[in-house]
């Protein structure tokens, strides 16, 4: 049975292109964070508020990450806003890396982060004024791995309209639909119907995409477990992959890397896919606040919120 902490719990708040997260540092995996506690922390009215939660744990201390401890010291135990567990979050990895830098665990350069979607390679760039101010606000690049494109015919529907969608898996599932106007996505607080439902038994992130120019697109996204968010890193990667296939610029076919600029409501990400299939995502990550959580609040949160179902 879950028990709440008896001492104040440190937290931080950060965002990557306005995809925002509550960060709970817990190197030894000593803090019990069941789904109800994660959801309470992400509640925008009664908690800190965020699109998700980044539980920062040393890989060797977490049963799901111990096998990766030889490659990556730190494990990103990621939760959706409803408290459910997710495999990966691209913007979350950048914010996770920024926290490690801020806390002095890493410096600018390369590092590895363990996730449920595997070990992710990260590069923290020095900002232009780093030598003068010590600033730690340079862009962060994450090697996101390779996309898997199951050959499933998928349809997305909103407000009586339907669009064919590309099924793209970035360690988590996506349905990418190209539309004429982002307003066609309607109200994305509830998930748009995707058919056949059997393709995504654990739910799906849905991206609506319009063209802005050559290799330049804009998108809106509904994230499973969170609703519409200001940004989604894995979603931006899925969109770039789908656009490359649509445009005939698949790097595996052309033999040359392809880069797409992806505009999201919260900012801009640059996605590069290489001929070997590896995908790089580059963008900002910002820590905006830090403080302590009242253990009495935690006890109330544990007692009043139901557990969320894990959606994998």
**What's the confidence (pLDDT) of residue 15?**
96
CA distance 150 to 140: 29
66 is in an annotated binding site: no
pLDDT band at 130 (very low <50, low <70, confident <90, very high): very low
Q: What is the pTM of this model?
A: 0.86
**What's the confidence (pLDDT) of residue 310?**
40
Q: Which one, of 112, 111, 114, lies nearest residue 54 by Cα?
A: 114
**What's the confidence (pLDDT) of residue 131?**
42
Beta-carbon-side half-sphere exposure of residue 145 (alpha carbons within 13 Å): 22
Which domains does the chain show, CATH number per domain?
9-139+286-304 (3.10.310.10), 154-282 (3.10.310.10)
Average pLDDT, the chain: 90
| Contact status, residue 54 vs residue 96, Cβ threshold 8 Å | yes
CA distance 266 to 73: 30
CA distance 280 to 219: 18
The percent of residues above 90 in pLDDT, for the chain, comes to 75
90 is in an annotated binding site: yes
Catalytic residue, from 232, 240, 241, 244: name it: 232
Greater confidence (152 vs 112) lies with 112
The answer, yes or no, to whether residue 134 has pLDDT greater than 70, is no
CA distance 47 to 180: 37
pLDDT band at 300 (very low <50, low <70, confident <90, very high): confident
**What's the confidence (pLDDT) of residue 2?**
42
The answer, yes or no, to whether residue 305 has pLDDT greater than 80, is no
233 is in an annotated binding site: yes
As a whole number, mean pLDDT of residues 187-205 equals 88
311 is in an annotated binding site: no
Greater confidence (219 vs 185) lies with 219
Residue 237 annotated in active site = no
**Range with lowest mean pLDDT among 127-131, 151-155, 269-273:** 127-131
167 is in an annotated binding site: no
The answer, yes or no, to whether residue 272 has pLDDT greater than 50, is yes
Residue 232 annotated in active site = yes
Greater confidence (47 vs 226) lies with 47
As a whole number, mean pLDDT of residues 273-293 equals 96
Task: Please give the backbone phi and psi of residue 242, each rounded to the nearest 5 degrees, phi first.
Answer: -65, -40
Catalytic residue, from 89, 209, 238, 262: name it: 89
- pLDDT tens track for 19-38: 999 999 999 999 988 899 99
45 is in an annotated binding site: no
| Contact status, residue 180 vs residue 187, Cβ threshold 8 Å | no
- pLDDT tens track for 206-247: 999 999 999 999 999 998 888 888 999 999 999 999 999 999
């Amino acid at each position: 049975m879950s028990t709440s902490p008896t001492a104040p719990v440190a937290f931080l708040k950060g965002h990557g292109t306005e995809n925002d997260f509550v960060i709970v540092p817990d190197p030894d995996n000593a803090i019990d964070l069941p789904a109800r506690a994660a959801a309470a922390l992400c509640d925008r009215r009664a908690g800190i508020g965020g699109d998700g939660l980044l539980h920062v744990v040393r890989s060797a201390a977490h049963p799901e990450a111990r096998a990766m401890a030889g490659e990556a010291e730190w494990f990103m135990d990621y939760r959706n806003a409803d408290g459910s567990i997710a495999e990966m979050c691209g913007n979350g990895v950048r914010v996770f890396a920024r926290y490690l830098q801020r806390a002095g665990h890493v410096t600018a350069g390369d590092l590895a982060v363990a996730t449920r979607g595997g070990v992710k390679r990260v590069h923290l760039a020095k900002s232009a004024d780093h030598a003068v101010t010590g600033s730690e606000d340079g862009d962060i690049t994450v090697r996101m791995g390779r996309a898997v494109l199951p050959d499933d015919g998928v349809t997305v529907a909103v407000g009586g309209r339907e669009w064919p969608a590309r099924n793209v898996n970035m360690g988590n599932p996506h349905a990418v639909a190209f539309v004429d106007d982002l307003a066609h996505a309607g109200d994305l607080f509830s998930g748009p119907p995707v058919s056949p439902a059997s393709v995504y038994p654990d739910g799906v992130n849905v991206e609506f995409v319009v063209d802005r120019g050559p290799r330049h697109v804009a998108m809106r996204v509904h994230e499973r477990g969170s609703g519409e968010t200001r940004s989604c890193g894995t979603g931006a990667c899925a969109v770039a992959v789908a656009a490359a296939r649509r445009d005939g610029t698949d790097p595996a076919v052309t033999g040359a890397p392809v880069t797409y600029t992806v505009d999201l409501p919260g900012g801009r990400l640059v996605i590069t896919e290489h001929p070997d299939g590896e995908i790089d995502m580059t963008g900002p990550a910002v820590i905006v606040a830090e403080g302590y959580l009242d253990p009495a609040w935690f006890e109330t949160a544990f007692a009043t919120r139901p557990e969320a179902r894990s959606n994998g």
